[in-house]
Structure 1
């Protein structure tokens, strides 16, 4: 009995301590400046897809908003998560608990994004994901404190798979990066291919740090597949596409499909290698006057055109700050409610809506990479193939495993 009483007391003490931490962090957030953190890959293999670009985009949004809200200055912090989940979780918890950060942005690397979304829930902060793609973020990994904004693996797979199958390419082989994002992208694409009457001849999972794809390419080449789909990102994706050219996959009649292709990937590959590739994207800098205006401002700061992650980081930060102003507070649930009830209309999205599962629903675009002869300049790289309306691009709520969705 004595031991039980001691255990109960310890449990109560722990609960009180946890409540005290949450209360003190909430007070810090309400009393201090409004603080936004960018947690990203600054030095690793995903840095060209996030890193300084995401930092620049969020800074631009803060400046364009006026650098203050609710009569308080807006402050900015950033950190390199080093693609290590333990580093990301410790940084996020420290920001929410001790530094008054109310929003953590970007969160490239799906394993890290899933972990930090849970920290946001525990600490009652907000996490907005633009760098990572795993559709688990709004499926079984959803939280009431996180938003998946720019794109996800379901939308990428939906657009690219259906377009290639429309062209009669029905037999698929997957070359998949062995981490959460790659697994989700392969899973979503495989499901769509089979649902549309196609077949998957095989799949290989490769370590994300690998630089030698020769063994994988030989297996892909030997398969009966029409499409070799690369379900990965970062420098490993670029290396895999280069290897596919070296091993003659396209010359042998196979189509190499990038299931996540960033503008910076195409630029790094060059049109000689990337030409003809079908891809799905949320944003292209040369789509209309609004995208071109944002691109010009971003390029002045970064020396390159923005991609969908950069555009999403800017748009979502601006949407967050407008919601803080409308709610009159930085308290997470009040701000989340405002963000959900307010449509997003800017250069990034038209009538974008944040669903109860945290998915920001907006149109997606299928592009084909131009040939060198078609391009008029360094960043003129895409031809528009089709537009996917938002209500068709993303996983329907009827199929959701998110516990926040009422079935």
Structure 2
């Protein structure tokens, strides 16, 4: 059975539309609980972001898990990587996050983590889908009343995670003297992120830290950096940090308000690791800028690409034995600290480099030059067939011929939205924009 519901980052959709309905989520909870229980799972830790729909989905998921005989520990609003870490701290066998990450408030989603904090593999996802299909067609087979799972609220989940994050920052360093603007995207990290940086000594200026259930990711966070850039310049801050709605991805802006994306963050972390004895390589994705590959090569650091999705990055890291990887979008992994993308821990790694070097963020990023890159998202109803049209194939061939060895074209289907992502890298912005938009127009026309 092919995966019907799981995308690259769990199951996601518009709330109220299939599959993000209470009925479906309850059956998903039962299916996941049934599969996980067969692997010995007795308790699951559940966290969520700040979307209003999280309450409804949490209740439906709780009912399904309980019907499968699995206990539930409810952590409330907390970052995705916190759930991955805290599942073991609270003696849970698995973790579940209710979040649509960087999507607007009207979307929501569910993703699962295993005992080790890593996302479930394809085999487990397929097993869950098989049970889910059974529930959709036949209904839920509830365990006996005496075996139903019990739910409880957990205390101080945020506090434990804050201490974990702080523990990844050298006790010999301090953030004193740094003025940092923190954009929490009105999301899951609105309390946690500022606390971590403040407790390590930084002067923190908060923006987008007043969630109301519908303002998550709304012109703020890691996918919308204009307000962060303005705040850094207005407050004359040393730098700005933005996380997304569930705080598993990060972006910086430097003291000049210029963006530092995931590729540049990876470069900084890898270069610092190399200087302190790291002998491995870096795993990126098809979307990683060619400039990252070139800069790492100059440092003698191997680099490989995977499909888009931090799960694939983790798989390749495990395969190679390397420790560092991530995505342009800001999912950064360092397996020395955690097994999933963690915005706060990635931020602390970069901040430690700033503190140790004595230079500004704008200065320490100078070793890498990105090639101009244009990304165009094309909304389309027929993702499975549109790229097979002859006119699209011809347009693709023409773009690749024009780029030659001086650029790259990447076409891929989004795993979370009905989009075809068209990405072109070229020697100059004009060429990248022209070719990306020209190809996007052809895709829209089919």
Length-normalised TM-score, structure 2: 0.32
RCO comparison, higher one (Cα < 8 Å, 6+): 1
Task: Give the structure with the larger helix fraction.
Answer: 1
TM-score normalized with structure 1 length: 0.34
